[in-house]
Structure 1
Amino acid sequence: MSYKDKVITLEQALAMVKTDDVIVTGLGAAEAKLFMDNIHTIADRVRNVTITNCLSMANGEFLKEEYKHSFNIDGWFFSPPLRKAFKNGNISFIPNHLHLAGWKRLDHVKPNIYVGSASMPDEHGFISLSCSNTYESQMINEAAVVILEINPNYPRTFGDVEIHYRDVDYLMETDYAVPSIPDVPSNGKDAKIGEYIAEHIHDGDTLQLGIGGIPNAVAAALKDKKDLGIHTEMMTSGMVDLIEAGVITGKKKTLHKGKHVATFALGNQKLYDFINNNPSVMILNGKYVNDPAIIGLNDNMVSINTALEVDLTGQVCSESIGHIQFSGTGGQADTAIGAQNAKNGRSFIALYSTAMVRNPETGEKEEVSKIVPFLKPGAIVSLSRNDVDMVVTEYGIAHLRGTNVRERILRLIAIAHPDFREQLTKEAHELGLLYDK
């Protein structure tokens, strides 16, 4: 079939969806925005269609309660629209480590349709999957029908994201802006945490960073470093700033020397402009990039992740508030373990010492410690205490590698907010975790 023969309309694409179908779409900016923004329009003729997504950026119309009998949503990583609609009863989370998310899902169920975004074909007919190959190419290889929304606004990236248009069943020509996320400004707490972590990052280290105020503060604190590298699940806007400042060069990397390696990109337009037609950026399959064994091949690897709460033995909850799913494990365990596999590798879990939480009895917000005697009932352990290296708050760093439980308790209490340290010590005694000598 020629290129022209493969081009279809939105209406033709939606007409392919049948009752009981399983649909997979891309992660973040790789989501098929036009298709997903309009799939609710076929709700009256389908039932039990399962949509599998990850960090969805769509407008969420199909998430409304009125469509719950037409669509089920299975998410690898919850975004705000999924959290808001969770009460409808047709949304469920897929527990996963990011590097195995696609492979394990395919072992369970094959997609009838894969639909995602991509760049326009080049002069040779090759399309780039553009902003993500976390699981996308795996799904494309297994889906009964593959539909790509090709878009002139999407960056043409390199790595293992190239696919010829002849190997795609259908193409939809679109022209929407690449979904972006705002730069989160850092506050005083972020800056202090960033400074603590920066002290442990050396010239020539290779980094994995996420998004948000704390990672942005870490990036800002690295401006005086030299020849840093990137091996990360997510390519961010802050990384581009460091590359342009000459801080990140990749010259000292032991794996993919001189290349900025990621499995997806999500950020601002500056990021998308930077990765477009840029051979220094490699968007590689998530099964490879996030494999702890591969990450460990980077000497001097540093992993920086955030958490919602940490208990006194070192268990890390990063994805739920009690039993309610908030986000996802993502690549936290992948990268934390992978970094510690590396020669001279280090892993950081960062969080504020406190949070403002509404008291269910009074309705008033009150400050609570995020370092706790034990996690909230039902809380998900995103990172086992066996795999925690260093925990950071605005009050310092607790080095937990190789420590016993007593040592962990004392070190974590030392970086808790001063207002809660006495109470945490008392509770640790009452629970039998600490004993007076």
Structure 2
Amino acid sequence: MASTLTRLGAGILSKFGRSVASPTRLQSRPYYLYSPEPFHPIPDKQPLCMTADEAVTVVTSGMRIFVHGCAATPIPLLDALARYGKEAKLHNVELIHIHTEGPGILAQPEYDGIFRCNNLFIGANCREAVNAGRADFTPIFLSEIPNLFRRKIWQLDIALIQVSPPDNHGFCTLGPSVDCTRAAIQNAKYIIALVNPNMPRTFGDGVIHMSHCDVVVTGTDPLPVISQHCCSEEEEQIGRLISENLVQDGATLQMGIGSIPDAVLSKLYGHRDLGVHSEMFSDGIIDLVNKGAITNAKKTIQTGKIVSSFAFGSKKLYNFMNNNPSVVFNDVAFVNNTAVICQNPKVTALNSCIEIDLTGQVISDSIGTKMYSGVGGQVDFIRGAALGLDGLGKPILAMQSQTHKGSSKIVPFLKQGGGVVTTRAHVHYLVTEYGIAYMFGKNLRQRAYELIKIAHPKHRECLEKAAFDRLKVMPCP
């Protein structure tokens, strides 16, 4: 990789000097002839090669910085930024990102006032900071995040990204995380790229020519991986119900990370000609591809290819996608576009939720007043499936019937402070280990009836009484 960078003419710190820290360098890029497209080579422009500590000295107080997320989180750059933030006595530096991996050092109490994370989707490493008031959360559909950058609602000073090594022509890729990062690098004034041979080289919209980077830093850290989790009996039963009753041969799947999606995928080996068009995917699809269950042969959009905007899983998953032309990572504004999703056959969208009331209002991003995750792409795909042009789409929400503490997740009233991500009008299927509730076209008393049927048995009598108190009529089919 180092020889490739040399051939590209990468500079050294002494050539660039301390002018790297000058805010006047962070201007709109004048070398774009038409639009900020990071694909074509820029004549006579090469990135400068620096250490992480040298690269982040460009940061000044008050800047807005985009951070590459999920499996592509550039942790060495964030570690260097943490050190520099204290050393340079920075303040009010805003970090924009979806969920990131790693320790989330910049969201720790000791950096309060120096950095402030603005989460577009909350990961585990920022959850405490958001709920403690040290970090922010911006509710937004995943499909609309690119508009924040493209419409200049948020002006990005710097983008911190991680890329695969350049090929012989100088092209890198964003690896397993294209999502909203493509829009960020199109619009950021300055790009610092961590070049890592462990980043898989991927196909699709995530290609960036090295000349569009201002600075490159080399690194060799392994990518973050998901720890393996065994599905519970309840999750296994949910997987059986969905796979046997709701997933048809030739269906186009959208499934996220988690035990329930994994349980469903593990029971689809007997299906044929399944396709994948999903905002993200994990290891569960690999064996289905290898065993011939996933062929993508029936899809309308990018037939024959797995389409996603990001992926997160094990090293096996990253090896699977590396240089694999059957896996395509696209801009999330395209992947999660309802008008695109609905064109595929039998769109089967499976998403999880935290709580649902007896009228069908769904909480997916919070537990009462405590923020937990984000809006994400749930509504994008629920609508895409519901509006399927073939009329065979299935928008599915799934959850265990009760919490680990034994409280019902089907409730008369939502917890105070809980945010409705999916409205009553969006909901079609709700699945627990006790069955499938179909609510499309059902009135409130019918919805209550369907939901009580799939609640945990010990809660059904109380829910029935609560439904009568709320609706002034007994739930009925």
Q: TM-score under structure 1 normalisation?
A: 0.95
Number of equivalences: 428
1:347 equivalent in alignment to 2:389: no
Q: Which residue number in structure 1 is paired with residue 44 of structure 2?
A: none
Q: Which residue number in structure 2 is paired with residue 363 of structure 1?
A: none
Gaps of 5+ in 2: 1-6, 12-47
1:214 equivalent in alignment to 2:253: no
User: Partners in 2 of 1:149 and 1:299 — Cα distance?
Assistant: 39
Range with bigger deviation, 27-36 or 215-224: 27-36
Quick check: 2:354–2:363 contact (8 Å CA) kept in 1?
yes
Say if 1:98 and 1:228 are closer, same or farther in 2 by CA, change over 3 A.
same
Alignment of 1:353-372 (within 5 A): 353-357=401-405, 367-372=406-411
Amino acid in the other structure paired with 2:431 = V
User: Partners in 1 of 2:233 and 2:394 — Cα distance?
Assistant: 24
Alignment of 1:415-426 (within 5 A): 415-426=454-465
User: Partners in 2 of 1:329 and 1:143 — Cα distance?
Assistant: 24
1:384 is displaced (CA, Å) by 1.0
Larger radius of gyration: 2
1:43 is displaced (CA, Å) by 2.7
Q: Which residue number in structure 2 is paired with residue 250 of structure 1?
A: 296
1:235 is displaced (CA, Å) by 2.2
Amino acid in the other structure paired with 2:470 = L
Q: Which residue number in structure 2 is paired with residue 4 of structure 1?
A: 10
Amino acid in the other structure paired with 1:17 = V
User: Partners in 1 of 2:131 and 2:112 — Cα distance?
Assistant: 11
Q: Which residue number in structure 2 is paired with residue 196 of structure 1?
A: 241
Deviations 1:187-245 (A, max 9, x none): 11011101111121111111001111111100011111111000001121101121112
User: Partners in 1 of 2:379 and 2:177 — Cα distance?
Assistant: 20
Quick check: 1:406–1:433 contact (8 Å CA) kept in 2?
no
Q: TM-score under structure 2 normalisation?
A: 0.87
Specify which of 177, 192, 201 is matched with residue 147 of structure 1. Answer: 192
User: Partners in 1 of 2:459 and 2:209 — Cα distance?
Assistant: 59
Q: Which residue number in structure 2 is paired with residue 293 of structure 1?
A: 339
Say if 1:58 and 1:418 are closer, same or farther in 2 by CA, change over 3 A.
same
1:283 is displaced (CA, Å) by 0.3
Say if 1:370 and 1:105 are closer, same or farther in 2 by CA, change over 3 A.
farther
Amino acid in the other structure paired with 1:290 = N
Say if 1:284 and 1:168 are closer, same or farther in 2 by CA, change over 3 A.
same
Alignment of 1:25-424 (within 5 A): 25-44=67-86, 45-104=89-148, 107-199=152-244, 200-342=246-388, 343=390, 344-357=392-405, 367-424=406-463
Say if 1:407 and 1:154 are closer, same or farther in 2 by CA, change over 3 A.
same
Q: Which residue number in structure 2 is paired with residue 362 of structure 1?
A: none
Q: Which residue number in structure 1 is paired with residue 37 of structure 2?
A: none
Quick check: 2:123–2:373 contact (8 Å CA) kept in 1?
yes
Amino acid in the other structure paired with 1:72 = R
Quick check: 1:68–1:90 contact (8 Å CA) kept in 2?
yes
2:309 is paired with a residue whose SS is strand
Gaps of 5+ in 1: 358-366
User: Partners in 2 of 1:109 and 1:86 — Cα distance?
Assistant: 20
Quick check: 2:401–2:410 contact (8 Å CA) kept in 1?
yes
Amino acid in the other structure paired with 2:158 = I
Say if 1:51 and 1:433 are closer, same or farther in 2 by CA, change over 3 A.
farther
Quick check: 1:3–1:165 contact (8 Å CA) kept in 2?
no
Quick check: 1:37–1:60 contact (8 Å CA) kept in 2?
no
1:435 is displaced (CA, Å) by 4.2
Which structure carries more strand by proportion? 1
1:170 is displaced (CA, Å) by 1.4
User: Partners in 2 of 1:184 and 1:55 — Cα distance?
Assistant: 20
Q: Which residue number in structure 2 is paired with residue 364 of structure 1?
A: none
User: Partners in 2 of 1:88 and 1:354 — Cα distance?
Assistant: 27
Alignment of 1:16-27 (within 5 A): 16-27=58-69
Quick check: 2:149–2:184 contact (8 Å CA) kept in 1?
no
2:129 is paired with a residue whose SS is helix
Range with bigger deviation, 86-95 or 42-51: 86-95
2:293 is paired with a residue whose SS is coil
1:381 is displaced (CA, Å) by 0.6
Q: Which residue number in structure 2 is paired with residue 360 of structure 1?
A: none
Deviations 1:44-72 (A, max 9, x none): 32000001121110322222212101011
Quick check: 1:37–1:59 contact (8 Å CA) kept in 2?
no
User: Partners in 2 of 1:104 and 1:409 — Cα distance?
Assistant: 39
Amino acid in the other structure paired with 2:138 = I
Amino acid in the other structure paired with 1:434 = V
User: Partners in 2 of 1:100 and 1:398 — Cα distance?
Assistant: 30
1:302 is paired with a residue whose SS is strand
Quick check: 1:262–1:283 contact (8 Å CA) kept in 2?
yes
1:80 is displaced (CA, Å) by 1.3
User: Partners in 1 of 2:165 and 2:377 — Cα distance?
Assistant: 29
